[in-house]
């Protein structure tokens, strides 16, 4: 956690999907795919964080 926000790590296997979503968000203003990818990354990171603090 940094400044109250969880870390979002986009794994290598998702890089192409992430880059396409980022491009679409920046050129077309369509944020849904980008938000979904970040949401998934944060969810995985939080699961790992919670596992470590148990």
**For the segment 1-47, what is each residue's pLDDT rounded down to a tens digit?**
678 888 888 999 999 999 999 999 999 999 999 999 999 999 998 89
> Which pLDDT belongs to residue 3?
80
Q: Is residue 41 part of a domain?
A: yes
> Which pLDDT belongs to residue 21?
98
Q: Is residue 5 part of a domain?
A: no
Q: Which residues pair with 2 in a beta bridge?
A: 5
Q: How far apart are CA 8 and CA 36, in angstroms?
A: 12
pTM for this predicted structure: 0.80
pLDDT band at 50 (very low <50, low <70, confident <90, very high): confident
Q: What is the extent of the structural domain holding 48?
A: 12-53
Q: Which residues pair with 5 in a beta bridge?
A: 2
Q: Is residue 3 part of a domain?
A: no
Q: How many domains does the chain have?
A: 1
> Which pLDDT belongs to residue 5?
80
């Amino acid at each position: 956690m940094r400044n109250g926000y969880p870390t979002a790590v986009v794994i290598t296997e998702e890089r192409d999907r992430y880059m396409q979503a980022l491009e679409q968000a920046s050129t077309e203003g369509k944020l849904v795919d980008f938000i979904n990818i970040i949401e998934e990354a944060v969810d995985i990171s939080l699961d790992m964080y919670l596992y470590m603090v148990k």
